[in-house]
Amino acid sequence: MKNYKVFAINPGSTSTKIAMFEGEKEIFSRNISHDAEKLKEFKEISDQLPYRKEMILNVLKEEGQTLEGVDAFSARGGGLVNVEGGVFTIGDKLLEHARTCYTVKHPATLGAQLADAFSKEFGGVAFVVNPPDVDEFQDVARVTGLKGVYRESRIHALNQKEIGIRFAAKQGKKYEDMNLIICHIGGGISVTAHRMGKMVDSNDIANGDGPMAPTRCGQLPVKDVVTMCYSGKYTEKEMREKITKTGGLVDHLGTSDAREVTAMIENGNKYAKLIYDSMIYEIGKTAGSMAAVLHGKVDGIVLTGGISHDKYVVEKLTEMLSFIAPITVMAGEFEMEALAAGAIRVLSGEEEAKTYTGIPVWSGFTC
C-alpha cells in the first residue's frame, strides 16, 4: 500500500497544530503559538486566514519541510450544520459555512479554509474529518423534560471516533461491529455510547451536562442555577462562563490542572480529594448510564484524553466499571493522527468520502 503523504491542520484559539504524516508515521509536528494581541486585530475569524497560513509556511521553511507532493490536506473543521460522522471533501458549501462560521464562531473553522487554500496552491485533495459538528444521536436521546429544549451532540468527535477505530483494530474487528463506551477525560469530559459505529448518546460538553470537568460545571440542579441567574450577583456572560470556562475544578479549587489537584491531595487537602473523587464518580456514573443505552451489551470501555494518564483516575474508574466490560486505557489525544488516518482511509479506498450538503441531519421534531 502506498504511504500517502498527509498534512494535518488543527487550529485553536491562540495556536495552530500542524503535522506531516507518511502513512501512519508522523514525520513532523509543531504547535504554532499566535500572539493573542495580534489576533485581536482581525475583525472576523476568517480574516486570520492569511496570517495563519503565512505562519505555517514560515515554520515549514524553518524546519526544511515542503507541501509539494502532499496527497491530502486534512483539517478538523467546524462551523457546520450537524452531520453524520465521516470524512468530507471540502466543497463550496462546506467552505462557505466555514468562512461565515455558520453555526458557531470558533477558530476551528479556519481548518477547512487552510486545507482548501493549501490544496489549491500545492495540489492534493482537501478533507475535513469528523468535525465537532458530528451528531449521530438516536431520537430518544435528544428529548428533555422541557419542550423546545433538546440535547445535541457536542463531544470530542474526532478523538472519540479515532479511539473507537483503533480499539476495534486491536481486537481484530471493525469499529462498525462493536458496542463501546469511550470516556474522553481532559479539559472537557465526554462519555459516549458507540453502537455499531454510531455515537448514539453522550453528554453535552458545551451546554452543561454530564460529569463536571476541569473547567466545566457538568450537570446541575436547574432550579438553583435559575436562582443564581436572577440573584443580581452575576452577569449573563459570567453565568455562561461558569458552564465551560470557570466551572468544575476551577470553581472549586482554582485550577484546571489535574496534576496540581493531585499535588493538593498528596499534601493533605481533603477538600481537593472530595472534589476530584466527585469528578471521577460522575464520570463512572455517566458511563454506567451509557451501558444502559447499549442494553448492557458492551464490548469494551476505553479511557482516553490527558487525564487518563492519571493512575488514580484509572484505578477508581476500573473499580466502578469493570463489572460492565473490560477497561482499556488509551491515554492522550489522537486528533492529529485521526486527521491523517481519515484522509488515508479515503485515499486507499477503505472509506468513501462524503459530500457536505449543508442540510442538518437533525433540526428538531415535528409536534
H or E element, residue 199: strand 198-201
179 and 310 fall within a common domain: yes
Structural domain contains residue 96: yes
H or E element, residue 301: strand 300-305
Question: How many CA atoms within 13 Å lie on the side-chain side of 133?
Answer: 30
64 and 180 fall within a common domain: no
Domain count, the chain: 2
Q: What is the CATH number of the domain that holds 68?
A: 3.30.420.40
247 and 194 fall within a common domain: yes
CB 299 within 8 A of CB 170: no
- Binned average pLDDT, 10 residues per bin, the chain of 367 residues: 94 97 96 95 97 98 96 97 98 98 96 98 98 97 96 96 98 98 97 98 96 97 97 97 96 98 98 98 98 98 98 98 98 97 98 98 91
Give the Å distances, CA to CA, from 258 to 95, 265, 294. 37, 11, 30
Closest CA to 88 of 77, 103, 99: 77
CB 29 within 8 A of CB 18: yes
Structural domain contains residue 56: yes
pLDDT of residue 245: 94
Structural domain contains residue 184: yes
270 and 226 fall within a common domain: yes
Helix axes 236-244, 222-229, angle to 10 degrees: 150
317 and 347 fall within a common domain: no
Domain extent at residue 230: 172-333
pLDDT of residue 2: 87
328 and 340 fall within a common domain: no
> Which ranges of the chain does DSSP label H, i.e. alpha helix?
36-39, 49-62, 92-99, 110-122, 157-170, 222-229, 236-244, 248-253, 258-266, 270-293, 311-321, 335-347
The grid coordinates listed for 104 are 458557531
108 and 203 fall within a common domain: no
User: What's the pTM?
Assistant: 0.96
Structural domain contains residue 48: yes
Q: Reduced to 3 states, what is the DSSP secondary structure of residue 315?
A: helix
pLDDT of residue 366: 86
- The whole-angstrom separation of Cα 18 and Cα 6 is 11
Structural domain contains residue 155: no
Question: How many CA atoms within 13 Å lie on the side-chain side of 63?
Answer: 18
Indicate the burial class of 51 (C-beta count within 10 angstroms; 0-12, 13-18, 19 or more). middle
345 and 232 fall within a common domain: no
Structural domain contains residue 35: yes
327 and 347 fall within a common domain: no
329 and 340 fall within a common domain: no
Helix axes 49-62, 110-122, angle to 10 degrees: 60
